Amino acid sequence: MSRVAVVPGSFDPVTLGHLDVIERAARLFDEVRVVVVHNPDKPGGLFAPAQRVAIIQQAVADAGLPASVVVDDFGAGLLADYCTQFGATALVKGIRSHTDLVYETPMAIVNEHLAGVETVFVLPKPENAQVSSTLVRQVISLGGDVAPFVPAAVLEAVRAR
């Protein structure tokens, strides 16, 4: 049976840390669905969700990841329902620090309760451990260089804005 995992997030924008997590998930699972979720706690982002999907698709292709990695705009709703719909048995999340673990643990428990879906935590490469979309957005808005933190597809999208 094919093992399907979901890598969810706001991805506004996708960072090298996210790509690291996606690569790890692709090594562990037969199919990986990278899902752009509209997080109501983070309104008014840098890129519209459809643009985020396009940027991630470009970044995944540029990184030479397999066709088993697909990118989807989930919109709003319960992630557990999305997992059930696509037969996903796992969520894959990156843990950069104890703060991430504190943030992720309740969601993992709720998702297990709702859909029996397991959350698999992976550690990013140390050089990606301090990267966050929030900081990247801030640096972009102030005209700084984010090239060390994001895939080329993000830089192209920033230039095209």
**18 is known as an active-site residue:** yes
For residues 36-54, one letter each, b for 16 or more C-beta atoms within 10 angstroms of the residue's C-beta and e for the rest, the string is bbbeeeeeebbbebebbbb
- Please report how close the Cβ of residue 95 comes to ligand PNS at its closest, in angstroms: 12
From the list 19-27, 58-66, 105-113, 118-126, the region that binds ligand PNS by CB under 6 A is: 105-113
42 near ligand PNS (CB under 6 A): yes
Task: Find the shortest distance in angstroms from Cβ 118 to ligand PNS.
Answer: 14
Q: Which of 79, 90, 136, 154 binds ligand PNS (CB under 6 A)?
A: 79
Which entry of 10, 18, 33, 93 is annotated as an active-site residue?
18
Phi, psi of 46 (to 5 degrees): -75, -50
How far from 56 is each of 17, 18, 105, 115, CA to CA, in Å?
12, 10, 25, 26
